[in-house]
Structure formats: structure tokens, C-alpha cells
Amino acid sequence: MYWQTSHRKLDLRKPLVMAILNVTPDSFSDGGRFADADAAVRHAERLIGEGADILDIGGESTRPGSSRVSADEEISRVALVIEAVARRFDIPISVDTSKSQVARAALDAGAEIINDISGLRFDPLLAQSVAESKAGLVLMHSRGEFESMHSQRPVDHILADVAADFRRAVQEAATAGVGRKQIVLDVGIGFGKTLDQNLELIAKLDKLKSEFADYPIMVGTSRKSFIGKLLGNVGPDQRSAGSLASAVVAAWNGADILRVHDVRPTVDAVKMVVAIRKTDLADSEPLPYANTGI
């Protein structure tokens, strides 16, 4: 399996690590740290050095309680950073946006993937921009409008709801002319889900993977609030171990792309998952101590 972007084919024989680079003043974990273009490029260099396969650059916070910014403001935050990173490094760049105007500016600056948290619900022209550019497209499950995504009443059956929304989003993308190989599906951890539903999606990811076998699956749990709650209401800077554990389980259950803040530990953990799974799949011999009473 591979993921087709406007610049290349990304090999998915092992899970890829997508590094988060927020150039916003108010993101929940690193807001304001990399809003300056020079600081953002330096951080990009660090993430690449740690083994990131993809950089996901975002100019609009989607944390609970955040407010929308204008397309012009979002472009002013991301375009120069994308251009500078693309000029210096040969790495796939994703832009985290749900606005077609921002997507077009980001693609012109050197991005090759559009990561849409709305799954094409917020801007009907976004799919057209992707189809014309042949960019990669991430379709994430979410519910409600931008301001109400995190305050939706939970659905009764989260797997069924995610699957239904995936089918809708894939059909809309296909109707606009987006190719199947361009599409990745994201289960939307933390967006309008209860703590238990977030855990269920990770634990039963293989079921979604089986139903949508033609599409790579992305999972982004990094430093999210459900981890903080589970670990005793700790802040984002104390959620690294929980983030890593959830990423490992997601990778074991079939995630093809992991969206993370902590790149080096995740890269190392993925190597272990791949090595263990390879041994597990290769060894079909019966246990040597079977039927011995041990």
C-alpha cells in the first residue's frame, strides 16, 4: 500500500510518523512556541532529525474553545513557513486546514497533503482543490461545526458513526475527482468523543481497518485531554507516556500513520512494533511445549 501525494508515493509498509508543527498562538500543547517563522523552521529541522516522515503544519487551533481565524490570517501564518521548509528539506509537508483558500496557498508554497479535520464538511471547494492538485487528502471524522465540534452529544455507537462518516467523505471526494490512492482516513480521536469512545476506537481500530481496507488509517492521540484525564488530570506536558502507549496500540491494530508531537520516541516505538509483528506473522509453527503439560 502507498499514499499518493502531488509530489510522491509514500510507502506504507511500515507506519509513518507525522510530526505536528503548530504555528498558532493558542494551540493546546505548543501554542506560541513556533509562531515565528525562523523558530518554526528550526523546529522542523529538529523533527526531521528525529525521524519524522511527514510534517503537518497548522495555522488554526482546533482545541476546545478555540475560535476560527480568517483565511488570510491562516495563510499569513503557514505559507512562509511551508515555503521555507520546502526550500530547505525534502520531506512531505501537510497543511492542517479545512479552508480551500488556505489549501491552495499552502499547495502553491510547497505542501503536498491537505489534512481536513472536517472531512470535507466545512468547505465544499476543498475537494476540488485537492483533485486539481493531485495532493494527498486526510479525511477526519468529526461532528458539528467548528465552534461546536467538542461539545456534541456523544453518539451511541462510535464505530458505526465513524464508518458512516468515512463512507460519506470518501464519496464526496470521489465525486470531486479525488483518486482513491490520495485518501487517508483519520478516526478523529478527541473530537466529540467520550473518554471511553476514544479508547474504543484505538482498541477496535482493526475493525475499521478491515472495513476500509483500501484506505490508510491515521490516528492522532498525542497529548490529548482524554490521556490527561486517564492519568489523573495531568497537563499536556505530562502526557507523553500515555501518548506513546496509545500510539503503539494503534500501530499494532493497523494504524498506517501516527500524528504526534514526540517524534523520536514514536519512531523508536514503531520500529519495535514492526519487528515484533514481523516475527509474529512469520512464526506459524506450533509451540515446542504444546501438549507437554507446561
* CA neighbor of 15 nearest in space, from 202, 254, 221: 254
Strand bridging mode 217-219 / 93-96: unpaired
**Cell numbers given for 46:** 529538529
Q: CA end-to-end span of the chain, whole Å? A: 41
Active site residue 14: no
Cβ pair 159, 207 in contact under 8 A = yes
The whole-angstrom separation of Cα 122 and Cα 191 is 15
- Amino acid letter for position 54: I
The whole-angstrom separation of Cα 261 and Cα 223 is 8
Of 224, 239, 264, 271, catalytic: 224
Active site residue 264: no
* CA neighbor of 75 nearest in space, from 112, 100, 42: 100
- Show the beta-strand stretches assigned E in the chain: 2-4, 9-11, 16-22, 54-58, 93-96, 113-116, 136-140, 183-186, 217-219, 257-260
Of 259, 271, 277, 278, catalytic: 259
R_g of the chain computed on alpha carbons: 19
Active site residues: 224, 259
